[in-house]
Chains A and B, each alone.
Chain A
């Protein structure tokens, strides 16, 4: 023990859910005034542990101490009263309210009449003190993602939180914003506040944390001061095995363009320009990646290409044919497959069974139907074949898709999309939220597509994934392509700068010849 001041101690925390032990006798001791990193892959149990700490979940067994005293964290309100609060990955903000309104929401005072001026002043004070610049009167939907995160932090500070948990905070930030966040965190710890930093990014752990704890499969595997370890060691503890090599990339002959975008412009949901003159091309047999922080137009880009959003100006050419603003159906028939970001909301109909979902793009073809009547037996047979080939785990073909695991529903989606004849694949965040096994399966499918001559536009937030899979990477920022780099010229610094909006010597208009 000794003279160390612990802000929070979690001892032997165990939490079970039906079928899985999310936390198995986990221990975490966080020193006051430190930045403590909690490292682990998807499903390691980090979020569960933090949900316990913030009072959202009650552990099956174990003890929690706050500032040395035993605490029963019965609800988020109790946790906040004890000074423990969390900034989630998905912000909890009311889009149509102002910053100040969001910050005062749920507070007991003032009780009736709301005078925003003192609240706005308080917000400004926090902004100045911790370098969290934000306009208290701005509406949330007008703010950038980085600014919204600042609102979330101020929200916690306003409530007297001094143990702040941040859940994957840098996933949505540009490198510049990450630096600003780290500055804020350092100011906060200088002021005596404690930070718990959940992440899976090793470089950040090394840069910002004082101490790191690694979780794997619900258990503590490792805990030490950051200065006493290194990324390789952390990575292997995280994964539990030697990091596998990047997937094999056989050389493939690059063909003609399957997708060409000329000065493509489009409006977003709120009427503001979200695509600002995109020039891009994808060739047969290549994987062309789009890197960029979420919210720079990626989603809308995919939607315009696949006919789900109007292009305001510019051209979309598929295999040489101008298909700007064509209906989704014609685009599908022109040979475009689409793996959407929103699997269950767009790519699949969760309440319908596997067969009905699998035939969604095929039901019009002669092999599934005779005239207007559908051939159920054929449909089922084809689906069964598909399910087997792609190893979709399911009790039977009549199971509703919403009962499948994330990995299996993505497999089904990919199976469906890759099984029809197509020349262009548009894949948006295809491995988001999937565990290692499913992720590897998805990546190998994408590589196989490449081998069979399909041109793929891969939009992803995961730079490592893009580097592993792509022949070329373009960076999108505020609806424009900042630059394109070929595989042999990959420079993380440069890509990072482009993601932050800083154009470099490799300018946007130069298209590097894709090399084999």
Chain B
């Protein structure tokens, strides 16, 4: 049925559209759980996207591209870590600076490869057996490897945060660094590691955009997805599974808008493009307004530099 298959195709598109945001949100989640606010996600995604693309074009290898994106994002995460943890610079401004710098840097680096096609891109790899399940099969199991990777990363992150000692220590650093420090937990190295990990995941999200989703390089191709990821973390109450849900919701709105444009719904394409942003703002307001009543809150020490007085 036309309606059925369109519904299914929107859901499937929701997953792929939501994946770059999901990667970025997971990275931000880890970073924020350790108490470091990273507003440079947008810049990191762009730098990851351009590095991945450049490398893939130059070497012809997708794996090299993905690796380059991860490293590039990680480097930016390292800069943020240095500024905010060692120099104790205001985390908001450092993140903003990273976004501005990353946007400029990616535009600069990507100039030579605008419009250049990739020799090899990520193909859809349907999982045998699972992909034949009606509806769910198409929605979840007919995607490329990077999407499948999120199916592993999300539960792993959940397990890591809630069922392991390193995860316990990470959370303690974000809730009460003084307590953690007094008990011998190394606050600085954990925060450094999370910031770098956050950058790496953001870079990976960007690489997904330029190597699989588009695939191409365009200046500013993330179009604010990095910021949506930051909002998503709040919506997800710093939980990986909820982040996945939120990312796919966002992806759904995005995909719906695109479908409506293609179908010629009569609504201006620009209004449709506005939808994801307005949606995110509304969701953010609702979640923040109702969060006060729930017992789960932001990591207590989020945004505050730690100093051993």
Q: Which residues of A contact B (CB under 8 A)?
A: 76-77, 92-97, 101-102, 104-106, 110-114, 270-271
Contact = CB atoms under 8 A, between A and B. Distances in A.
A102 B182 CA distance: 12
Interface of B: 163-169, 171-172, 175-176, 178-180, 182-185, 293, 295, 297, 300
14 contacts: A92-B182, A93-B179, A94-B175, A95-B176, A96-B297, A97-B175, A105-B168, A105-B179, A106-B184, A112-B164, A113-B163, A113-B164, A114-B167, A271-B293
A97 B167 CA distance: 12
Contacts, number: 57
Contacts of B297: 96
Given A94-B172, A105-B180, A106-B184, 16 more contacts: A92-B178, A92-B182, A94-B179, A95-B175, A96-B175, A96-B297, A96-B300, A97-B168, A101-B168, A105-B172, A105-B185, A106-B169, A113-B164, A114-B163, A114-B164, A114-B167
A104 B300 contact: no
Greatest chain A CB density within 10 A among B165, B166, B182, B185 is at: B165
A271 B294 CA distance: 9
A106 B295 contact: no
Given A112-B164, A114-B164, A105 B175 contact: no
Nearest to A155: B183
Nearest to B159: A113
A402 B67 CA distance: 49
A97 B183 CA distance: 15
A76 B300 CA distance: 25
A95 B300 contact: yes
Greatest chain A CB density within 10 A among B163, B175, B176, B300 is at: B176
Given A77-B184, A106-B184, A271-B293, A92 B165 contact: no
**Do most interface residues of chain B lie in helix, strand or loop, or is the interface mixed?**
helix
Nearest to B186: A106
Contact of A114 (B165, B182, B185): B165
A92 B178 CA distance: 7
B174 to A, nearest CB: 10
Contact of B168 (A76, A93, A104): A104
B300 A110 contact: no
A74 B281 CA distance: 52
A150 B183 CA distance: 17
Given A111-B165, A112-B166, A114-B163, A106 B185 contact: yes
A456 B15 CA distance: 64
Contacts of A271: 293
Contacts of B183: 92, 105-106
A106 B163 CA distance: 15
B187 to A, nearest CB: 11
Contacts of A111: 165
B169 A105 contact: yes
Nearest to B185: A106
Greatest chain B CB density within 10 A among A93, A94, A96, A114 is at: A94
Contacts of B165: 104, 110-114
Contact of A92 (B167, B169, B171, B179): B179
A270 B176 CA distance: 18
A92 B183 CA distance: 9
A271 B295 CA distance: 9
Contacts of A101: 168
A270 B164 CA distance: 28
B168 A114 contact: yes
A101 B182 CA distance: 15
A105 B184 CA distance: 9
Contacts of B179: 92-94, 102, 105
Greatest chain B CB density within 10 A among A101, A106, A113 is at: A106
B167 to A, nearest CB: 8
Nearest to B183: A106
A96 B297 CA distance: 9
Contacts of A77: 184
Contacts of A102: 179
A310 to B, nearest CB: 12
A271 B292 CA distance: 9
Closest 10 pairs (CB-CB, A-B): A106-B183, A92-B179, A106-B184, A94-B176, A94-B175, A92-B182, A105-B183, A106-B185, A94-B172, A112-B164
Nearest to B167: A114
A453 to B, nearest CB: 41
A113 B168 CA distance: 10
Nearest to B162: A114
Contacts of A96: 175, 297, 300
Nearest to A142: B295
Contacts of A105: 168-169, 172, 179-180, 183, 185
A282 to B, nearest CB: 32
